[in-house]
Amino acid sequence: MKLPTFGFELEFDTRASDVVSHLYHSVRHEDDDVIGSDTLHSYHCGCEYCDFDSGYPLRGQTDSSCSGELISHPMKDIAQAAPLFEAIQEAAFEVDAEPGLRSGLHVHVGVGDIPDATLARFFYDWLKWEPVFGYIARGRFLILRDFNASNRRQLRQTLAYMGFNTWEDCADLSESDKYTLYAESRNCDRHALLSTYTRHGTWEFRIWNSTRTAWRMILSTQLSRIFMTTEFHDVLDDFDPADVQVRDAARDLLTALRLIDNDEVIVTANLLERQLDWQEAISDDSTKYVEPFTLV
Amino acid sequence: MPHTWTFVRNDTTFVVTPLDRLHSTPDQEETMPTDYETLVNQNLTSTARMGLRRRDIDRSFEVDDLEIRLSEPGASDYISLLSQGYSFLRRHHDGHYSDRTMIEVQRAIDSQYDDQPSGPRVVIARTKASVDLVSEVKKGGPLAAGFTFGERMVLAVHQAHRIEGLGGQMVKALRSGKPKLSTWVGTGNVGAQVFLLKSGWIITGMNNQGSIRFENGMGAGNGD
C-alpha cells in the first residue's frame, strides 16, 4: 500500500504573520530555515521565496478569508511533514496564533496515474461518506466551518437530471453514473469540501477545520491520503454510513481503518480514535469545550 | 497564598524570592530634580500628570509562579529567550516601538547563527505555560519582555498584566550590574510615561519626532 504525494495549506484566524516570523527567526530544521521570509507574502506570490524551487519547505502568504496561511511544498512521505507540523505547532502556541472558523486546513493529494474510473469510485464514496468526514473534520471545534460548499449540494441538480430526488435514492449507482458525477464535480466551484479539479494534478481536501496541533495536522493529512487508496475503499465497501447516526458511522470508519494492515494507517487510526473521543466528550459534556482558548 | 517568583540569570538561578514589588514613594514627585520639572510639565500629557498624582493606588501582583529570566549572549538559553522576547515584543508593543527597534532585535536573533554572535541583554517574565493538545487550549506564557542595547532599554508588558508591578521587576532585572539605563517614549504613550516617572526616572531630552528620553540612575529615586 503506497500513499500518494501531498502538500498542505494551513490557515490561521489570527497571527499567521507572527507564526511566519517565529518560524523564520527561531526554527531550524536540520540546520536549514524552514521558511525563506519572515513576513507574509501576497496571495499566490511568485517570488524567489515562494517559488516551488525555493528550497524552503514552507512559505507564508496572505489569504482573504483569514489572517494568512502556511503553504508547503509537495512531499512524498509523512516523515517529511511531521517535523514541519511540530515546528508550526510550537510557533503557533508560542505566539498565540489561533485557528478558527474563518480558516481551514487544505490537504492536496496527488492523483498521479490513478485511472479515472477509480477516481469516479473514490468520489462516489466521498459523496456517501461526506457527512462522516464533515463530522471528523471539526477538529477541536463543535461544528464544521461553513465556508466550503458540500459536494452533495453542488451535484444536487445533476442527480435530479439522473432521476434521483434525494441522495438516499441513489445508493447503488452504475459505474457510468458514478463517472458522470465525478466528471460534473470537476466543473463545480473549487470552494467545496473536496475539490477534484485544482490544476495541480491533485484532489484538494478543503474540508478540515484549522488546527494548531501537529497530531491533528497529521490526522487530516493522512486521512486524506489514505482516502486516495484502493485498499481503503475495499474495506469501506463493507460499511454503509446511511444506516447509522453520523457519530456511529465515524466509529465504523475507524473500524475500517483498523482492518488495513499498514503501519501508517494504524497510527492514523489511533489519532482518529483520539479525535472521536474528544468529539464525543464535548458533545456529551459541553463544559469540556472552552472558549477562548488562549488564556494568559 | 504567597507568590513564587524565580529569577534566573544566565542559566543560573540567581534569586528565589518573592521579589520586592516596586512601589512609588509618597515623596517621589518632590524628589524629582527641579531642573527637569519644567520639561515634564511642558511635555507630558494631562493624563500622565494625573497618573503621577495617583500615589495611593496599590495593585498587588496577582500572577503566581512567575519566572523572570535574564540572559546574555553566550548563555545556553539566549537564543530561545531572544526569540521569545522578539515574538512577545512584536505582539505587545502596541505600535510604540519603531520598525528600527524591531529590526534591531531581528538582526540580533539572526546573528546568533554567525561566527561571532552578539546581541542585547534580554529579560523575559513568564508564567509556566501549559498546552492541552486535544482541546488546543493554552494557559500561561510570557507576560513581559525587555532588552537592553548598551544602556538603551526596550520593554513591553502584556496588555492584561499592566499596572501590577511587573514592569518594575523587569527594569530591576534589566538594570542589574548596569550604572544607567535610558529609554525613549513617545508622547502618546501615557502609560509608559507614568510608569517611568513614578519609578523615579527623569526626562533628559526630546527628539524632533515627539519622543521623550528618560534616564534611570542619575541619583536618588532611581527605582531601586
* Sequence-ordered strand ranges (E) for chain A: 6-12, 28-29, 32-33, 58-61, 68-72, 104-110, 194-195, 202-209, 294-295
Å from B202 to nearest chain A CA?
Answer: 32
Average pLDDT over chain A reads 92
Contacts of A290 in chain B (CB under 8 A): 135, 137
Give the cell for residue A71: 503553504
Residue with cell 544602556: B151
- Closest CB to A293 among B87, B90, B136: B136
Taking alpha carbons only, the member of A134, A73, A84 closest to residue A104 is: A134
Would you list which residues of chain A are within 8 Å, Cβ to Cβ, of chain B?
15, 18, 21-22, 25-26, 28, 38, 93-96, 99, 140, 211-213, 215, 274, 278, 288-290, 293-296
CB contact (8 A) between residue B134 and residue A18: no
How many A-B residue pairs are in contact by the CB < 8 A criterion?
68
Would you list which residues of chain B are within 8 Å, Cβ to Cβ, of chain A?
79-80, 83-84, 86-87, 90-91, 106, 109-110, 113, 127, 129, 131, 133-141, 143, 158, 160-161
Å from A217 to nearest chain B CA?
Answer: 12
pLDDT of amino acid A11:
96
B218: pLDDT strictly greater than 70: no
Taking alpha carbons only, the member of A227, A200, A143 closest to residue A9 is: A200
A257: pLDDT strictly greater than 50: yes
Residue with cell 528620553: B213
Letter string b/e over residues B118-129, b meaning 16 or more CB atoms within 10 A of that residue's CB? ebbbbbbbbbee
- The runs of H, that is alpha helices, within A228-291 are 230-236, 246-258, 263-284
Q: What's the whole-number mean pLDDT along residues B70-80?
A: 86
Count the neighbouring beta carbons within 10 Å of the beta carbon of residue A68: 25
Higher pLDDT, A254 or B41: A254
- Closest CB to B137 among A25, A26, A290: A290
What's the DSSP call for residue A135?
Answer: H
A56: pLDDT strictly greater than 80: yes
- Closest CB to A21 among B90, B135, B138: B90
Q: Of the ranges A149-153, B12-16, B116-120, which one carries the lowest mean pLDDT score?
A: B12-16
Q: What's the whole-number mean pLDDT along residues A253-265?
A: 97
Contacts of B131 in chain A (CB under 8 A): 93
Q: What's the whole-number mean pLDDT along residues B104-108?
A: 86
CB contact (8 A) between residue A99 and residue B134: no
Does this model's pTM top 0.80? My answer is: no
pLDDT of amino acid B63:
59
If you measure CA to CA, which chain A residue comes closest to B80?
A26
- The runs of H, that is alpha helices, within A149-262 are 151-154, 156-161, 175-185, 214-227, 230-236, 246-258
B4: pLDDT strictly greater than 90: no
Dist CA A177 CA B139 (whole Å): 52
pLDDT of amino acid B123:
94
Band the pLDDT of B169: cuts 50, 70, 90.
Answer: confident
In contact, A46 and A63? CB cutoff 8 Å? no
Q: Of all residues in chain A, what percent carry a pLDDT higher than 90? A: 71
Higher pLDDT, A226 or B203: A226
A181: pLDDT strictly greater than 90: yes
ipTM for the whole predicted complex goes beyond 0.85? yes
B35: pLDDT strictly greater than 70: no
Dist CA A196 CA A202 (whole Å): 7
* Sequence-ordered strand ranges (E) for B40-136: 66-71, 121-132
Higher pLDDT, A54 or A85: A85
Q: What's the whole-number mean pLDDT along residues A10-32?
A: 83
Count the neighbouring beta carbons within 10 Å of the beta carbon of residue A270: 15
Higher pLDDT, A242 or A260: A260
A139: pLDDT strictly greater than 90: yes
Higher pLDDT, B170 or A167: B170
Side-chain-side CA neighbours of A25 within 13 Å: the count stands at: 30
Dist CA A129 CA A30 (whole Å): 39
- Cβ neighbourhood burial of B136 (10 Å; 0-12, 13-18, 19+): buried
Strand partners, B67: B6, B126
Q: Of all residues in chain A, what percent carry a pLDDT higher than 70? A: 98
pLDDT of amino acid A289:
84
Q: B36-40 long-range contacts, Cβ below 8 Å, gap at least 24?
A: B36/B202, B36/B203, B36/B204, B39/B203, B39/B206, B40/B197, B40/B203
pLDDT of amino acid B57:
38
Q: What's the whole-number mean pLDDT along residues B82-101?
A: 82
A148: pLDDT strictly greater than 90: yes
Q: What's the whole-number mean pLDDT along residues B161-190?
A: 87
Per-residue pLDDT tens digits for A149-174: 999 999 999 988 888 888 777 777 88
B20: pLDDT strictly greater than 50: no
- Closest CB to B135 among A94, A215, A293: A293
Strand partners, B214: B183, B203
Dist CA A166 CA A159 (whole Å): 8
Most confident of A34-43, A178-187, B21-30: A178-187
Q: What's the whole-number mean pLDDT along residues A258-268?
A: 96
Give the cell for residue A139: 477538529
What's the DSSP call for residue A75?
Answer: B
Dist CA B167 CA A9 (whole Å): 39
Dist CA A45 CA A62 (whole Å): 9
Dist CA A160 CA A80 (whole Å): 44
B59: pLDDT strictly greater than 50: no
- In the three-class reduction of DSSP (H, G, I as helix; E, B as strand; rest coil), residue A177 is classed as helix
Band the pLDDT of A176: cuts 50, 70, 90.
Answer: very high
Q: Which value, in Å, is the radius of gyration of the alpha carbons in chain B?
A: 18
Å from A220 to nearest chain B CA?
Answer: 14
pLDDT of amino acid B45:
54
Average pLDDT over chain B reads 74
The angle subtended at Cα B186 by Cα B181 and Cα B190, nearest 5°, is 95
B1: pLDDT strictly greater than 70: no
pLDDT of amino acid A6:
97
